Amino acid sequence: MLKTRGYAADSPVSNLKPFNFERREVGARDILIEIQFCGICHSDIHQVRDEWGGSIYPMVPGHEIVGRVAQVGADVKKFKEGDFAGVGCFVDSCRKCENCADGFEQFCLKQAAQTYNSTEMDRKTPTFGGYSSQIVVDENYALKISDEENLAGIAPLLCAGITTYSPLKRFNAGKGQKVGIVGLGGLGHMGVKLAASMGAEVTVFSHSPSKKEDARKLGAHNFVITKSPEDMSPLAGKYDFILDTVSAEHDLNMYLNLLKRGGAMVLVGVPEKAAEVSAFSLIVNNRTLAGSGIGGIAETQEMLDYCAEHNITSDVEVIPIQKIDEAYERTLKSDVRYRFVIDMKSL
């Protein structure tokens, strides 16, 4: 077994602390990644604090992982030692069911092995995430990172990037479309960059007036402060597509009303409490309300290649792991510009 260092939470109310654990030996189809950077997703905070229920402790969070391939198993084809690789939100799935076969491993009918707060497919071995020195993963569940320039800015693509890319693609965001991004955090700022790169006219809906200038720099064309309903009413029925990335309780109907005929709103944010939707918000204009969960391996690779081609990375604040509590607190206050990424050298 491979001795590994990390940071873990012991309970929903404990801070993260140093934690030593073991990874499996590198199998024939596995690669060993020395983790260089790991992004801090708001999902890490939801799960550390058990806001979705069923959390498993000790929990080593982290599913925006990039690093250097330090060892490859005998049968590995996709990677060689010295390559750069990424790991996102899951590390295995059954590989046989309809969803796995169709490239939607995240919805594996036997339930994918999440990168942390989960078990391997044996349903016994706990999985530990990227706030750690190294990870062993089957090559089929690792992503190729071609661009070595800005690994810290690439790490958040593994979750925030794919979670916003996938629904934008699915709903054909592009030229001639008015797209709204609700919440300018880790997911939201990637949504802005990606939607703008696809040619859409992008509006940020934010409850943080201080983010206006940043929104423009990220590629947004308009900025609306959601605290003032008078700013919202002239926009009713104007949008083709809205991506809602908000992590806390909020009113969905206010945004649904902004959709034009046939428009769609996709939820990716996962607030602790369920939201109420008025049937009229959907009936008027034949609107669609949908959800989207990360992306499969092939689509995640497509997104990474797209970002490399279009020079898209995340805007990050790189921190040593010792600052994790402060990073969580600032994320909870919507004060992240726009993703915290842990430099694993600090571990």
Q: Which residues bind ligand NAP (CB under 6 A)?
A: 41-43, 46, 159-160, 163, 183-188, 206-208, 211, 245-248, 250, 268-270, 292-294, 331, 334, 336
Sign of CA dihedral 53, 10, 268, 99: negative
Q: Shortest Cβ distance from residue 49 to ligand NAP (Å)?
A: 11
Phi then psi for residue 101, to 5 deg, are: -60, -35
Per partner kind, with CB cut-offs from 5 to 8 A, the member of Zn ion, ligand NAP, none near residue 183 is ligand NAP
Which of 342, 330, 37 minimizes the C-alpha distance to 185? Answer: 330
Q: How far is the CB of 248 from ligand NAP (least distance, A)?
A: 3
Cβ-based nearer residue to ligand NAP, 2 or 318? 318
Question: How far is residue 21 from each of residues 15, 60, 251, 340, measured CA to CA in Å?
Answer: 18, 10, 42, 24
Nearer to ligand NAP, 269 or 296 (CB): 269
Please report the sign of the dihedral spanned by the C-alpha atoms of residue 40, residue 302, residue 36, residue 1.
positive
Residue 43 binding Zn ion, by CB under 5 A: yes
- Residue nearer to ligand NAP on the CB measure, 134 or 226: 226
CA nearest to 320, candidates 11, 10, 16:
16
Nearer to Zn ion, 43 or 203 (CB): 43
Give me the least distance between CB of 43 and ligand NAP, in Å please: 4
CA distance 10 to 291: 31
Q: Is 48 in the site for Zn ion (CB under 5 A)?
A: no
CB 252 within 8 A of CB 281: yes
- CB distance 321 to 7 below 8 Å: yes
When asked if residue 16 is in the footprint of Zn ion (CB under 5 A), the reply is no
Choose among 259, 236, 245, 267: nearest CA to 181.
245
**Chain Cα centroid distance, residue 97:** 24
Which of 300, 271, 245, 247 is closest to 91 using CA atoms? 300
What SS3 state is found at 177?
coil
Q: How far is the CB of 176 from Zn ion (least distance, A)?
A: 31
CB-based contacts of 271: which residues, under 8 Å, 6+ apart? 246, 247, 248, 249, 250
* DSSP-assigned letter for residue 140: G
Nearer to ligand NAP, 64 or 139 (CB): 64
41 belongs to the binding site for Zn ion (CB under 5 A): yes
Which partner in Zn ion, ligand NAP, none is near 62 (CB below 5 to 8 A by kind)?
A: none
**Smallest distance, Å, CB 41 to Zn ion?**
3
Nearer to ligand NAP, 134 or 331 (CB): 331
Look at residue 113 and give the partner it binds from Zn ion, ligand NAP, none, a contact being a CB closer than 5 to 8 Å depending on partner kind. Answer: none
Q: Which is nearer to Zn ion, 30 or 92 (CB)?
A: 92
* Sole window of 77-85, 96-104, 158-166, 328-336 interacting with Zn ion (rule: CB under 5 A): 158-166
Is 41 or 76 the residue whose CB approaches ligand NAP more closely?
41
Q: Are 188 and 182 in contact (CB under 8 A)?
A: yes
Pick what 68 binds: ligand NAP, Zn ion, none; C-beta below 5 to 8 Å, kind-dependent: none
Q: Which region among 37-45, 69-77, 127-135, 304-312 touches Zn ion (by CB under 5 A)?
A: 37-45
Report the alpha-carbon distance of residue 230 to residue 185 in Å, rounded: 24
Tell me, what amino acid is at 322?
Answer: Q
Contact footprint for Zn ion (CB under 5 A): 41, 43, 159
